[in-house]
């Protein structure tokens, strides 16, 4: 499994914690570190950069972290074909993947602590899209997204 990750300046510390945690589990991690390319980059730029990579490379696992996770989710969802959601609890993280087939997990460094973040990430990574009753809803989201991006 490969996970790409990035964060804004509000979340560099939590990003390091998550990267170390993933690596300790033998997961390949690619830290995009957009702020090293553009030191004054804000969360919209960081999130958009990662979301484009998810779309272009058809990646299915990526993590974005900012102060609350909200802004990162909003900007990632502006990229056609990318589904992102903010999770601050384990159940939501599991459902984000299992029910909604989201490729991008977002979290807030000012909202979750290190240990909770690791648990959230683990729940999201262990979950697989289940389809079932959610499949029609996910398909509807994709269709409505296509309609929206046509305009």
The catalytic residues are 66
Helix, strand or coil, per DSSP, at residue 77? coil
Cα 44 to chain centroid, rounded: 13
As given in the structure block, the two tokens for residue 115 are 């240990």
How do strand 28-31 and strand 84-86 relate by DSSP bridges? unpaired
First CA to last CA across the chain, in angstroms? 36
C-alpha distance from residue 86 to each of 44, 120, 124 (Å): 15, 11, 11
As given in the structure block, the two tokens for residue 120 are 């959230």
């Amino acid at each position: 499994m490969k996970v790409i990750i990035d964060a804004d300046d509000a979340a560099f510390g939590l990003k390091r914690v998550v990267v170390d945690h993933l690596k300790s589990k033998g997961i390949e991690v690619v830290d995009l570190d957009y702020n090293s390319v553009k030191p004054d980059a804000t969360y919209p730029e960081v999130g958009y950069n990662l979301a484009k990579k998810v779309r272009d490379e058809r990646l299915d696992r990526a993590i974005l972290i900012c102060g609350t996770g909200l802004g990162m989710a909003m900007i990632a969802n502006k990229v056609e074909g990318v589904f992102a959601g903010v999770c601050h609890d384990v159940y939501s993280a599991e459902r984000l993947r299992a029910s909604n087939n989201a490729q991008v997990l977002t979290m807030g460094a000012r909202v979750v602590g290190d240990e909770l973040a690791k648990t959230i990430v683990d729940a999201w990574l262990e979950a697989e899209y289940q389809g079932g009753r959610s499949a029609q809803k996910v398909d509807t989201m994709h269709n409505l997204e296509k309609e929206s991006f046509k305009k």
